[in-house]
């Protein structure tokens, strides 16, 4: 199974937290079920109607055996000529009408019970989806670095489905079984205590098997959900990288990988179904054994005159009614196992507190001069090894009208600086300030409204060009959108599209070239006002001539904002007022382009190398 790459190139699985989660679920599954149940009772009216309907449906169902028993005794009276025929026929007709009425009312209330149960279940699912999605937006990058998006998708779809079904298969079914078994026991014991004990002898045996089955089924549900998450991960990875798969003709390899994971999921499913069928079969066998004993013992009691034939019929009819509830006990076990497992997996995420969040006393960022400062900043990624630092002792100052360039080899910490400016991570030493305000003490919303980062990997949504450019400001006017696109040297291209700015961009922008996607990302960034503008290697896929035109178009914007340009290609930042050369997380050289060339250091070496390569390409 592949894990999601962290921003500093590490691959990390959330193994420890998953292990902790498994232990927590095994100890707290009752609390999980209670928590889901409380969510259901937030919809008081619907739950009240559902419970009352369940109770009434079960109550009318209990009348059916009594009416059947009475009808048998009345019919027996006609056969034996021990009662007046006309009177008995009238009584038999009345009983028949009562039986039909009870059946109709039972059906009506069962329909109402099912409707309200499904309604509440879907409302829970709706609220959970919103809460889950909102939580994923809140959680910090350091957490997202450690988990796979495929696993999150599985929890947000499969686990929520398992939780929402608890209302119908768990809560309402509990009331139904309680009324049927409890009410039936009272009725039977009133007729004959000994026969009542025989009829209900299966209940404690079933209860014991339920407790055993619940534990085993919960474990299989846990393993199944984990495996389904792996399947989602594989599918999500391959759909995202479908072009790579096709380019390397790796379809068979990926199909085999998916098939292997699917077979594991199928094996766990077979195991779960086997457990369910085995326990349900055992409970059904005990039920029919009790029914046979009732027929044997009750038959002797009828012969001995201790009970009537109609009363024996009541016992047998009642046990026939219990056949479905006995099976439902098995379904309820499955529901308990699934709801506790799925709920535990969901609540494990919903209960997390983000490591990057507003302090209780956070205030909005106040922009006065628009000066950004790094003061002796150290940083280590949370998933890093030991005391391995990504940045050490970084100090810089960017102000409006001034451009800072940052260059260095891969892994030197360039992009990390951009992440710290937007406070996607917190520094582990030193401070980052804007106009003297530590960004850890201001609200995230106000900070990110004033810090615009154009990412090195532009992400485009499956939407129109217009909506992609205006993503940060959906209310932006058409003229502003076109001006931003013109700054990014994209307006002419968009204007020639069949539908212009209304043209639909394919998933992740696959209908555009890499340079076009980066230019659209630049347009999205410059559309918005902000005190700080960061270009994180955002022109790597753009040709040199277009890049120069973009820089010329950005001159007016640069005058009003502090600008930081992070790049591998020196031509992207040669014009910067100050250039920082990073190596292993430290600034080893700083100065403008001419000063750094005069020192004949690392910057000069890189410039010489890139110039030679450029000359070679030109000759070719």
Among candidate residues 299, 319, 350, the one where a domain is terminated: 350
**Domain containing 475 — which CATH number?**
3.40.50.300
Q: Kindly report the backbone phi and psi dihedral angles of residue 43, in degrees, each rounded to the nearest multiple of 5, phi listed first.
A: -95, 75
CA-CA distance, 521 to 539, in Å (whole number)?
A: 10
Among candidate residues 316, 350, 384, the one where a domain is terminated: 350
pLDDT value for 385: 55
Instruction: With CA atoms as reference, report the closest residue to 174 among 329, 286, 341.
Output: 329
CA-CA distance, 370 to 104, in Å (whole number)?
A: 75
The pLDDT-based confidence of 271 (bands split at 50, 70, 90) is confident
**Residues 210-232: what's their mean pLDDT?**
74
Tell whether 452 is covered by a domain: yes
Tell whether 6 is covered by a domain: no
Condensed to tens digits (0 to 9), the pLDDT of residues 460-475 reads 887 888 888 888 788 8
* CA-based max dimension of the chain: 126
Q: Are residues 298 and 419 in the same domain?
A: no
pTM for the full predicted model: 0.74
Among candidate residues 350, 385, 402, the one where a domain is terminated: 350
DSSP line for 237-305: HHHHTHHHHHHTT-HHHHHHHHHHHHHHHHHHHHHHHHHHHHHHHHHHHHHHHHHHHHHHHHHHHHHTT
Q: Are residues 454 and 529 in the same domain?
A: yes
pLDDT value for 211: 64
Among 37-51, 354-368, 446-460, name the one with the lowest average pLDDT: 446-460
Coil, helix or strand at residue 406? strand
How many C-beta atoms surround the C-beta of residue 441 within 10 A? 14
**Residues 8-14: what's their mean pLDDT?**
35
Tell whether 364 is covered by a domain: no
How many C-beta atoms surround the C-beta of residue 381 within 10 A? 22
Q: Is the pLDDT of residue 19 over 50?
A: no
Tell whether 361 is covered by a domain: no
Greatest mean pLDDT among 24-33, 56-65, 110-119, 494-503 lies in: 110-119
The pLDDT-based confidence of 42 (bands split at 50, 70, 90) is very high
pLDDT value for 128: 93
What percent of the chain is predicted at pLDDT more than 70?
88
Q: Is the pLDDT of residue 127 over 90?
A: yes
**Residues 105-111: what's their mean pLDDT?**
93
Chain centre distance of CA 244: 27
Greatest mean pLDDT among 48-52, 158-162, 229-233 lies in: 48-52
Q: Are residues 94 and 213 in the same domain?
A: yes
Condensed to tens digits (0 to 9), the pLDDT of residues 238-257 reads 777 777 777 777 788 888 88
pLDDT value for 4: 39
Tell whether 7 is covered by a domain: no
Tell whether 251 is covered by a domain: yes
Q: Are residues 409 and 329 in the same domain?
A: no
Q: Are residues 391 and 310 in the same domain?
A: no
Q: Which residue has the higher pLDDT, 600 or 302?
A: 600
**Residues 99-111: what's their mean pLDDT?**
91
Q: Are residues 565 and 608 in the same domain?
A: yes
pLDDT value for 438: 94
Chain centre distance of CA 136: 8
Q: Which residue has the higher pLDDT, 314 or 436?
A: 436
CA-CA distance, 534 to 455, in Å (whole number)?
A: 8
Q: Are residues 194 and 288 in the same domain?
A: yes
Tell whether 15 is covered by a domain: no
Condensed to tens digits (0 to 9), the pLDDT of residues 472-517 reads 788 888 888 888 888 888 888 888 888 888 888 865 555 677 778 8
Among 41-55, 93-107, 206-220, 573-587, name the one with the lowest average pLDDT: 206-220
pLDDT value for 83: 55
Q: Where in the sequence is the domain holding 272, given as residue range(s)?
A: 29-350
Q: Is the pLDDT of residue 210 over 70?
A: no
The pLDDT-based confidence of 108 (bands split at 50, 70, 90) is very high
Q: Is the pLDDT of residue 126 over 80?
A: yes
**Residues 337-352: what's their mean pLDDT?**
87
Q: Are residues 249 and 388 in the same domain?
A: no
Q: 185, 143 in Cβ contact below 8 A?
A: no
Q: Are residues 381 and 345 in the same domain?
A: no
Tell whether 504 is covered by a domain: yes
Say if strands 429-434 and 437-438 run parallel, antiparallel, or are unpaired.
antiparallel
Strands of the 429-434 sheet, one edge to the other: 391-398, 372-379, 429-434, 437-438
Q: Are residues 455 and 389 in the same domain?
A: yes
Q: How many domains does the chain have?
A: 2
Q: Are residues 330 and 392 in the same domain?
A: no
Q: Are residues 388 and 294 in the same domain?
A: no
Q: Is the pLDDT of residue 319 over 80?
A: no
pLDDT value for 22: 40
**Domain containing 227 — which CATH number?**
1.20.1560.10
CA-CA distance, 28 to 300, in Å (whole number)?
A: 50
Mean pLDDT of the chain: 81
pLDDT value for 156: 86
How many C-beta atoms surround the C-beta of residue 50 within 10 A? 26
Say if strands 372-379 and 437-438 run parallel, antiparallel, or are unpaired.
unpaired
């Amino acid at each position: 199974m592949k894990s999601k790459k962290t921003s500093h190139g590490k691959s990390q699985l959330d193994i420890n937290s998953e292990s902790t989660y498994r232990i927590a679920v095994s100890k707290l599954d009752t609390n999980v079920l209670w928590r889901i149940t409380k969510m259901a009772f937030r919809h008081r009216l619907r739950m009240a109607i559902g419970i009352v309907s369940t109770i009434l449906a079960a109550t009318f169902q209990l009348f059916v055996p009594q009416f059947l028993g009475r009808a048998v005794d009345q019919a027996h009276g006609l056969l034996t000529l021990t009662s007046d025929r006309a009177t008995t026929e009238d009584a038999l007709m009345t009983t028949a009408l009562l039986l039909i009425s009870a059946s109709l009312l039972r059906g009506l209330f069962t329909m109402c019970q099912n409707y309200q149960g499904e309604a509440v279940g879907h409302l829970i699912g709706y609220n959970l989806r919103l809460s889950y999605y909102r939580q994923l937006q809140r959680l910090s990058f350091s957490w997202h670095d450690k988990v796979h998006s495929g696993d999150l998708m599985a929890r947000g779809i499969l686990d929520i489905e398992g939780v929402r079904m608890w209302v119908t298969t768990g809560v309402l079914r509990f009331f139904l079984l309680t009324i049927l078994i409890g009410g039936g026991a009272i009725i039977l014991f009133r007729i004959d205590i000994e026969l009542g004990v025989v009829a209900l002898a299966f209940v404690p045996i079933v209860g014991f098997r339920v407790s055993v089955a619940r534990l085993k089924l919960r474990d299989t549900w846990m393993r199944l959900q984990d495996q389904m998450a792996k399947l989602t991960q594989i599918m999500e990875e391959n759909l995202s990288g479908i072009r790579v798969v096709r380019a390397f003709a790796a379809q068979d390899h990926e199909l085999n990988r998916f098939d292997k994971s699917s077979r594991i999921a199928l094996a766990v499913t077979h195991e779960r179904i086997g457990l369910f069928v085995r326990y349900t079969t055992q409970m059904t066998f005990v039920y029919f054994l009790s029914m046979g004993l009732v027929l044997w013992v009750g038959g002797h009691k009828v012969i001995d005159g201790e009970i009537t034939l109609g009363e024996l019929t009541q016992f047998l009819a009642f046990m026939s009614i219990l056949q479905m509830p006995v099976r439902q006990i098995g379904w309820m076990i499955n529901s308990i196992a699934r709801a506790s497992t799925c709920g535990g997996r969901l609540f494990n995420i919903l209960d997390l507190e983000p490591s990057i969040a507003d302090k209780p006393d956070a205030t909005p960022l106040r922009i006065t001069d628009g000066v950004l400062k790094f003061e002796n900043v150290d940083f280590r990624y949370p998933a890093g090894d030991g005391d391995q630092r990504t940045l050490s002792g970084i100090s810089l100052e960017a102000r409006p009208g001034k451009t800072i360039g940052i260059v260095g080899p891969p892994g030197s910490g360039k992009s990390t600086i951009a992440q710290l400016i937007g406070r996607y991570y917190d520094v582990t030493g030193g401070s980052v300030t804007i106009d003297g305000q530590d960004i850890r003490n201001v609200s995230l919303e106000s900070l990110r409204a004033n810090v615009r980062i154009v990412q090195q990997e532009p992400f485009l949504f499956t939407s129109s060009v217009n909506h992609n450019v205006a993503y940060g400001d959906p209310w932006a006017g058409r003229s502003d959108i076109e001006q931003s696109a013109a700054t990014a040297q994209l307006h002419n291209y968009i204007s020639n599209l069949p539908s212009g700015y209304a043209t639909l961009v394919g998933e992740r922008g696959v209908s555009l070239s890499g340079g076009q996607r980066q230019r659209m990302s630049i347009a999205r960034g410059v559309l918005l006002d902000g005190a700080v503008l960061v270009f994180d290697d955002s022109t790597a896929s753009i040709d040199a001539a277009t890049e120069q035109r973009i820089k010329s178009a950005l001159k007016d914007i640069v005058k009003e904002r502090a600008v930081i340009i992070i790049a591998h290609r020196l031509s992207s930042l040669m014009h910067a007022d100050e250039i920082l050369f990073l190596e292993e997380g430290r600034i080893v050289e700083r100065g403008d382009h001419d000063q750094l060339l005069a020192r004949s250091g690392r910057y000069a070496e890189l410039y010489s190398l890139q110039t030679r390569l450029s000359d070679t390409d030109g000759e070719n």
